[in-house]
Structure 1
Amino acid sequence: MKKLLMLLCLLLALSCSKSSPKPPSSPELLFPLKSSECTTGITIGTTNTSEVELQWNASARTDLYEVKITNLNTNLTQTLSTTAITQKVVLDKGVAYSWFVIAKNDEVSQTTASEIWKFYNAGSQTTYPPFAAEIIAPKSGQTVFKDTNNDVELEWVAEDVDNDIASYQVYFGSVSPPTDLLATNAPDNTTVKVGVVANTVYYWKVVTVDEEGNSSDSGTYEFKVR
């Protein structure tokens, strides 16, 4: 009887010592570089397209990578799967793209994703518009509370291949799309406070302008004040 109890305890200890399956670690993007012009694409025949090789670091506990790359002009996304840490993809020249990689394994359903990077696929241009500003807060559709001064802070980030952002034009109002210019911010100032009224839906967007006069539009975002 004593031997049987010892055997049961040993089996229980062994079962407890087995670690549960873990999700993959996050892939780290390598190339094309973040906020860059990719000049390594191989032209496809006589078309205005080129083949670009995306690269990233291997992530632990990964059986498959899913690569998502989005044409920022059309918002169309290509999804490609590979077991390698590179992926060749045919892209339009002179167009901005965003991309990221999702890591998967066969043991768990949980996946992990890399950061999202943006780049321009080189074309005939010598200068590029800034990437469209990304809204940080308030998120679109979010309900927020005003502060004690009846203000809400708007926040965004922006990137530019040429590193020559000149200003941000912030449009804000209670109609969509917003047409009232709320503020024109310097390139190092990506926040602005705005007076609001409770139980009201507001719309806003950011137009990023560079020193060459190129511009990009974030698109319209909305939030409700409680």
Structure 2
Amino acid sequence: MNKLIKVIPIVLSALVFVACGGSDDGGGEAAPVPNTAPTAVSNLVYPSSNLLCIDTTILFDWSAANDVDNDVVNYRLTVARDRNQTDIVEQITTTSTTRSITLDPATAYYWNVVAFDGEDEAEASPTLAFYTEGAGVVNYAPFAASINAPALDVFLDSGLTTLDWTGSDVDTNDTLTYDLFFGETADPVLVQSGLTTSTFDVTTVAATTYYWRVDTTDDSDVKSIGQVWSFSTN
């Protein structure tokens, strides 16, 4: 009888421990599933790169983005007068992949599209240039140069660095020349004018941020001012 009395409290204690400890069955609240941004718009269909548009009412057309979460995809269409898109003339949000916009004649424009869902946005599409035709225009200004290398805001090893860009003009017979600005301030100084090639080698030192710009001039001495790009050295 005494042995039975001693065993019962031990059994009860074990039952209480099991009940309070619960079971590790993963029954807690599930962690929220992170949102995934849609894919970037990979193809700007119209107007295509460096196109001379004969009509000022333009139907912008681009490829659709995909969203793995099946969220509704929105598009932000931006049209500006400069390649880095600070002088914006139209910025429209739509769920369609086309949009008609009327613009001024005889003007160079630059456009891109950003896809986004309710939480995140993709990287911007490439930025393309086009020109709207003007009555009696015999020469068009060249487009602002586009960057090839070094990539914008990239980090590189110091030493010899090749600056590489692309110039373009709807007047296909024009010969383009370039003025290169380069330095350690956001307003770089002119280091070479009248370049006929679109590359230039510079020497860099470690742990420094460099800024550079390319202005483009055509046969009629019409100049387009480029945007300021930057890169840093390790």
So what's the TM-score if we normalise by structure 1? 0.67
1:135/1:218 contact within 8 Å kept:
no
Q: Within 5 A, what are the aligned runs for 1:187-206?
A: 189-198=197-206, 202-206=210-214
Q: How many residues align?
A: 192
Find 1:98's aligned residue among 110, 114, 119.
110
Q: How far apart are residue 29 of structure 1 and its match?
A: 1.9
The answer for the alignment partner of 1:76 in structure 2 is 88
What is the letter of the counterpart of residue 157 of structure 2?
A: F
1:177 to 156, 179, 187: 187
Could you tell me which residue of structure 2 aligns to residue 6 of structure 1?
Answer: none
Q: Aligned in 2, Cα 1:145/1:90: closer, same or farther, shift over 3 Å?
A: same
Residues 48-127 of structure 1 correspond to what in structure 2 (within 5 A)? 51-59=57-65, 63-72=73-82, 75-104=87-116, 109-111=120-122, 113-124=124-135, 125-127=137-139
1: CA distance, partners of 2:73 / 2:202: 48
Could you tell me how far apart the structure 1 residues matched to 2:147 and 2:100 are?
30
Take 2:130 and 2:47, find their aligned partners in 1: how far apart are those partners?
7
Q: Deviations over 1:108-150 (max 9, x none)?
A: 7454653321111222322211111123434565554323xxx
Match of 2:91, SS? strand
1:190 shift after superposition: 2.1
In the alignment, structure 2 segments of 5+ residues that lack a partner are 1-34
Deviation at 1:174, TM superposition (A): 4.8
Alpha-carbon distance change, 196 to 59 in structure 1, aligned in 2, over 3 angstroms: closer
* Structure 1 residue identity aligned to 2:112: F
Structure-2-length-normalised TM-score = 0.65
Q: What is the aligned partner in structure 2 of residue 39 from structure 1? A: 54
The equivalent residue for 1:210 is 218
Q: Say yes or no: does 1:159 pair with 2:168.
A: yes
Q: Evaluate the alpha carbon distance shift between residue 89 and residue 172 of structure 1 in structure 2; reply closer, same or farther with a 3 A threshold.
A: same
- Choose between structure 1 and 2: higher strand proportion: 1
Deviation at 1:24, TM superposition (A): 4.8
Are the aligned partners of 2:163 and 2:201 in contact in 1 as well (CA < 8 Å)? yes
Offset of 1:87 from its aligned partner?
Answer: 0.8
1:35 offset after TM fit, Å? 0.5
- Matched letter for residue 194 of structure 1: V
Distance in 2, matches of 1:176 and 1:25, equals: 29
- The CA RMSD measured in Å over matched residues stands at 3.4
CA distance in 2, matches of 1:172, 1:21: 39
What fraction of aligned residue pairs are identical, expressed as a percent? 28
Unaligned runs of 5+ residues in structure 1 are: 1-19, 42-50
Q: Which one has the largest radius of gyration?
A: 2
CA contact (8 A) 1:37 1:161 kept: yes
